[in-house]
Amino acid sequence: MAINPDAKLAPDWNKPDVKKVPTRNGFGEGLAIAGERDKNVVALCADLTESTRVQLFAEKFPERFIQIGVAEQNMATVASGLAAVGKIPFIASYAMFSPGRNWEQIRTTIAYNDRNVKIAAAHSGISVGPDGATHQALEDIAIMRVMPNMICLVPCDAIEARKITLAAAEHLGPVYFRFAREKTPVFTTDDTPFEIGKAVVFRQGNDVAIIACGPLVYEALIAAEQLAKEGIDCTVINSPSIKPLDGATIIGAATRCGAVVTAEEAQSGAGLGGSVCELLSEVAPVPIKRVGVKDRFGESGEPDELMKKFGLKVPDIIQAAKDAIAMKKSTSARPKMMYLATLLANPREHFVLKNGKTLKSGAELKQALPSMDDATYKHHVTKDRNDFANWIADVYRDTETANSIRKAHNKQDIIRIIAQRLKR
């Protein structure tokens, strides 16, 4: 397997001299473009105009820029008021201060009222470096993704940061997005797909799926290249949309690979890693290893030094991938996707046949089929649909068995397929 051509990555993405640009630069460029496209776009900043890269917008549209000063709570409420009269406000500060300091104002005046405000959070993650723990926002994804009405986005490079900024301007409703101070590789292109609520498969493989966001997407790609030399094929998924999460893409990769790694420059317990674990635990439980900050505060140091110390580099992702695969192999005696077997005793939804009989499990369906009258069978299995396959897919999330049943030609084939599945 190799890089997905549909991802349209830069041709020199894996070269040692790949261009590096801070993702905050992409935000600044995107904000200026958004201002050109729509006169209702306004910007507010909490005394950090140059650092957050709002300066470009302020210079081009001084009449639409408001310097709030060191008053992040006030900035959020003023923005809510501006949104109420039709403006599209972008509020910018360090992530540690917004949403770190004004979370309640964002919750009550913006999210609760579903105001069209965009919260741009700079200097996120451990790579802030020498500023230390007080300025290294590691919990922001966790506290923002649980807020009702709030979109939560994390760009993987400066180009995607520009796309996110423009998408946020066009989206009706509150949006939170974070970006970093340190320079990171620019490896996507203007043609690389981005859409709120979507993840993109950057690399295809069948052994383990690495789902990453922010700067760790690049680390994941390099890790996958090195793992390929050891005969380990990785899927690498860029998931800039933490909320809404692209469940279809993630579930599909987890089902195919049977093992997952998440990677992010944030607290892994409730960020992207937590979000993926919540999703897969309900519908596609597979072994998962999370690469991220492990329930601790940051500290002062050089950015790359801290990324290594906190386990956020290529070797850490490689080890997590190998651990996840080992966990998968340790459970290989069980079915890859065990839904039909594990949920037999406690299905979430019973199946009521046309003749009134209730089926409580796949085993009961197998027993009922031989004596099922033709009218009942033909009601549930037609040329256009197969209710039994749909039930198994919807309730047990066993798409493999469901697809086999859909291809079956008669009752005996269905009985045989279910019998084989139950023996695994």
Per DSSP, the residues of 202-270 read EE--SSEEEEE-TTHHHHHHHHHHHHHTTT--EEEEE--EEES--HHHHHHHHHHHS-EEEEEEEETTT
pLDDT at 424: 58
DSSP track, 310-370: TT-SHHHHHHHHHHHHHHHHHTTTS-SS-HHHHTTTS-SS-EE-TTSPEE-SHHHHHHHST
What is the distance between the alpha carbons of residues 90 and 73, in angstroms, rounded to a whole number?
A: 14
pLDDT at 343: 34
Q: Residue ranges of the domains in the chain?
A: 20-185, 200-330, 339-423
Percent helix, strand and coil across the chain, each rounded to 5? Answer: 45, 15, 40
pLDDT at 337: 42
- Across residues 182-207, what is the average pLDDT? 97
Is 72 among the residues known to form the active site?
Answer: yes
Query: In this structure, what token pair is assigned to residue 154?
Result: 């994390």
What's the pLDDT band for 383 if we cut at 50, 70, 90? confident
Which of 33-47, 73-87, 203-217, 318-332 is predicted with the least confidence, judged by mean pLDDT?
318-332
Nearest by Cα to 89 from 130, 123, 61:
61
pLDDT at 338: 41
pLDDT over 90, % of the chain: 77
- Across residues 201-212, what is the average pLDDT? 96
Query: In this structure, what token pair is assigned to residue 292?
Result: 């991220």
In CATH terms, are 20-185 and 200-330 the same topology? yes
pLDDT over 70, % of the chain: 95
Topology of 200-330 in CATH?
Rossmann fold (3.40.50)
- Whether residue 378 is predicted with pLDDT greater than 70 in this model: the reply is yes
Residue predicted with more confidence, 422 or 50 = 50
Query: What's the chain's average pLDDT?
Result: 92
pLDDT at 356: 80
pLDDT tens-place string over residues 313-346: 999 999 999 999 999 887 653 444 444 333 333 3
pTM for this predicted structure: 0.79
pLDDT at 1: 55
Looking at domain 20-185, its CATH class is alpha beta
Query: In this structure, what token pair is assigned to residue 225?
Result: 């290249």
What's the pLDDT band for 27 if we cut at 50, 70, 90? very high
| Catalytic hit among 29, 72, 139, 160 | 72
pLDDT at 347: 40
Residue predicted with more confidence, 393 or 366 = 366
- Would you say 1 and 137 are in contact if contact means Cβ atoms under 8 Å apart? no
Which of 225-239, 271-285, 333-347, 380-394 is predicted with the least confidence, judged by mean pLDDT?
333-347
- Whether residue 301 is predicted with pLDDT greater than 90 in this model: the reply is yes
Residue predicted with more confidence, 358 or 305 = 305
pLDDT at 330: 79
Print burial letters for 256-273: b (CB count within 10 Å at least 16), e (below 16).
ebbbbbbbbbbbbebbbb
pLDDT tens-place string over residues 219-268: 999 999 999 999 999 999 999 999 999 999 999 999 999 999 999 999 99
CA distances from 73 to 27, 99, 137, 262 (A): 22, 9, 17, 33
pLDDT tens-place string over residues 121-169: 999 999 999 999 999 999 999 999 999 999 999 999 999 999 999 999 9
Strands 151-153 and 200-203: unpaired
